[in-house]
Chains A and B, each alone.
Chain A
Amino acid sequence: MTDTSTIDQLKTKAREIRKEIVTMVHRANSGHVGGSLGATELVVALYYHLMQHQPQHPEWPDRDRFILSKGHCTPVIYAVLADCGYFPKEDLKTFRRPGSHLQGHPYQPKTPGIDASTGTLGLGISTGAGMALGAKLKHQNHYYYIICGDGEIQEGQAWEAAMFANKYKLDNIIAFVDRNYLQTDGNSEDIMPLDPLRPKWESFGWRVAEIDGNDFDQIITTVEEAKMQKGRPTMIIANTVKGKGVSFMEHEVSWHGTPPGKEDYEKALKELSYGI
């Protein structure tokens, strides 16, 4: 059990990050707000509690790495990186604008703190596996945290990577499926069914845990347990609510890639400030 003051601090942080997410997407009039809001607890728990990292030294060799394989959810990682001090918060105003280092999808050469470029779905988990193999070859002990979308793992490449990580016993990978059951065109089980998800990953040789992905205590406890495991990569099926924190965005697929207009933005900000 994580102590309550830590949890309270993380909850406060998550609220701030969510405000930043809706602000960025509203300002750019472009971006993915729903999935970013849903994954906020995961990213906040990692960067403010679980990961070893040094914002002043983004290239620190022993840092834990983070790969946003569902690359469209840049608003959440950019908001967190800016808040941690990887780059000025002012930069967030340039999100998705020409000349900005904050591209629509993560671009490692340009953005301090981005460990791997992703974009087309399914790439990130493979890239993470390659990086994790590299760390093994160098006898390094840091971890690779990878967040995949549930729609994303409909890609065949995700399962290629699953086999690869099992073959090379990449126990330095702690991955999440952000399981919100919603993808661009609707409910994942209508578009291309993924359930039962747990036995799929188990049969590919991964250790699997299933949690409420919007619950800090469960995220932290499960990751701490995963770190103790040797010989197998871990997949955490994180059940989340897409659009979490903004009442009219929750469970609503229409907020996958639609930016909020002025009215919705103000409403969202109010809810995030004073609660739903």
Chain B
Amino acid sequence: MEYKQTRQGYVDGLLELATENPELVVLDADVAKATKTENFQAAYPDRFFNCGVQEQNMLSVAAGLALEGFLPFASTFGVFATCRAGDQMRNSIAYPNLNVKIGATHCGISTGGDGASHQSIEDIAIARSFPNMTVLVPGDYEEAKQATKAAAYHTGPVYLRFGRDNYPIVKDIHGSFEIGRAKSLRSGTDITIITTGIMVSEGLAAADDLQHQGYSVRVLHMPTVKPLDTEAIISAARETGGIVTAEEHSVIGGLGEAVAGVVAESYPCHVTRVGVMDTFGESGQADELLDKFGLREKDILLAARKILKDKDH
């Protein structure tokens, strides 16, 4: 299997957008090496602004640039964008509905060695709670590039979520990218697995396993957490009667709760959320942490089997 960084997909997407969009500018907050925006800086030094360790100022500055007709991509780690600069994201950007894109890297538990202070596992919850905000959570390098481009051509604020590590390239998700539209990866009638972000590879592996055991498994990949593809969710609830969600994020406020909310209101069925339980992370290698915090194929399988068993009774 080939592995690549989603943050690299972000900056490669920006580089591809740059010629066609002269109003595109990139901001960073002293993490340009880590977010990879240094590649953009090297190519377009006059369109890159390093704001120093000032995430709050950076997001409000981005709002100001948008007001003057620019297309700013403000880049920093997810935990800083949403927690340190949450007010600026809300009041400078989301409330006035400005055309600012927030490129958040180092999201999720797989950020690794830096530990809990840097592991953004609440950012989807925060970002999706702001009106006007679109939330994109791509699953691999290629989809990260797609999401970055889709964000550029979407008018309004977008929160783009990328990781730090190398993640599997998943060819199944390389079809066309449309904001708000789930990608249907497997059709099935016994159960549905809904993934977002890098959990797509684990979700597909779990689906294949169940398939071998004779189950018909639907897999939906949702690189857009907001606006949610409610139609796909309701169909899945109606036609498969059970859903497992999988995300590299807290089970509080993320994809799982969003899906559960739609299901509860429209077509109640069993929903199990696979994600980080209500706990902070810790230092470790990405792989070790994904194991430890229950973000693996086996965790999805366990949840799916329980639903299937309950359905049999």
Contacts and interface: CB of A to CB of B under 8 A. Distances in A.
Nearest to B88: A123
A4 to B, nearest CB: 38
A131 B52 contact: no
B131 interface: no
Contacts of A234: none
Interface in B79-102: 87-88, 91-92, 95-97
Given A117-B95, A123-B91, A137-B70, A160 B64 contact: no
Contact of B57 (A108, A138, A157): A157
B65 A131 contact: yes
Given A107-B96, A120-B87, A134 B65 contact: yes
B61 A127 contact: yes
A128 interface: yes
B65 to A, nearest CB: 5
B91 A131 contact: no
Question: Which residue, of A109, A116, A123, A156, has the highest number of chain B Cβ atoms within 10 A?
Answer: A123
Contacts, number: 94
A156 B60 CA distance: 13
A223 B87 CA distance: 32
B49 interface: yes
Interface residues of B, number: 26
B62 to A, nearest CB: 6
Contacts of B96: 107-109, 117
Contacts of B62: 130
B87 to A, nearest CB: 5
Contact of A164 (B54, B63, B72, B87): B54
Interface string A53-75: 00000000000000000000000
Contacts of A163: 52, 54, 57
Interface in A118-159: 119-120, 122-123, 126-135, 137-138, 156-157
A41 interface: no
A108 B96 CA distance: 7
B91 A117 contact: yes
Given A130-B61, A160-B56, A164-B51, A123 B68 contact: no
Contacts of A126: 56-57, 60-61, 63-64, 88, 92
A38 B69 CA distance: 33
A117 B90 CA distance: 11
B49 A123 contact: no
B56 to A, nearest CB: 5
A134 B92 CA distance: 16
A134 B64 contact: yes
Contacts of B92: 117, 123, 126-127
Question: Which residue, of A130, A160, A164, A167, has the highest number of chain B Cβ atoms within 10 A?
Answer: A130
Contact of A133 (B56, B61, B69, B95): B61
Contacts of B91: 117, 119-120, 123
A115 interface: yes
Interface of A: 107-109, 115-117, 119-120, 122-123, 126-135, 137-138, 156-157, 160-161, 163-164, 167-168
Interface of B: 25, 49, 51-52, 54, 56-57, 60-70, 72, 87-88, 91-92, 95-97
The 3 closest A-B pairs by CB, nearest first: A130-B64, A134-B68, A126-B60
